[in-house]
């Protein structure tokens, strides 16, 4: 199955929706509730961390000659920005959709009245 397609009607979900609403997606075709699979989340997070670490390593080597505080702060900020940008991009490219399981707390159960109404 192709990435970003509904498993029920095979209609493609927009990339912006996948990044913005990963756990609360609604298929534009069949209105089925979807979510991005955990494997896709983990893979995108790992790839984002790898890119962030590589960018941090290269920027730390570049700014190592700086004697002030920017020599150690700037590589951390640049690595964090690389992680923040690359992880959603990998999620868009690798996002596999699956049906969202029903939430047990959202189902209302009928039961007896917990306390009888007392009148004086």
pLDDT at residue 34, as a whole number? 87
CB atoms near residue 28 (< 10 Å): 13
pLDDT at residue 53, as a whole number? 95
Q: What is the pLDDT of residues 92-113, one digit of tens each?
A: 888 888 887 776 545 555 556 5
Task: Provide the angle, in degrees to the nearest 10, between the axes of the packed helices 38-62 and 70-94.
Answer: 150
Q: What is the pLDDT of residues 4-29, one digit of tens each?
A: 888 888 888 888 888 888 778 888 88
pLDDT at residue 16, as a whole number? 84
4 touches 37 (CB < 8 A): no
Q: What is the pLDDT of residues 45-94, one digit of tens each?
A: 999 999 999 999 999 888 877 777 777 888 999 999 999 999 999 998 88
Which residues, 6 or more positions from 49, have their beta carbon under 8 angstroms from its beta carbon?
A: 83, 87
Sheet holding 33-36, edge to edge: 25-26, 33-36, 97-99
Q: pLDDT higher for 116 or 14?
A: 14
CA torsion, ordered 45, 47, 49, 53, to nearest 10 deg: 180
pLDDT at residue 56, as a whole number? 92
């Amino acid at each position: 199955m192709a990435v970003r397609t509904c498993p029920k009607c095979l209609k493609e979900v927009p990339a912006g929706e996948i990044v913005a609403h990963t756990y609360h997606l609604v298929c534009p075709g069949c209105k089925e509730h979807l979510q991005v699979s955990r494997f896709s989340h983990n893979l995108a997070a790992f790839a984002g961390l790898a890119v962030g670490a590589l960018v941090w390593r290269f920027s730390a080597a570049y700014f190592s000659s700086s004697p002030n505080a920017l020599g150690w702060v700037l590589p951390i900020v640049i690595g964090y920005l690389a992680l923040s940008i690359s992880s959603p991009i990998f999620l868009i490219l690798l996002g596999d959709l699956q049906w969202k399981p029903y939430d047990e707390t959202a189902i209302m159960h009928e039961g007896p009245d917990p306390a009888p109404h007392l009148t004086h």
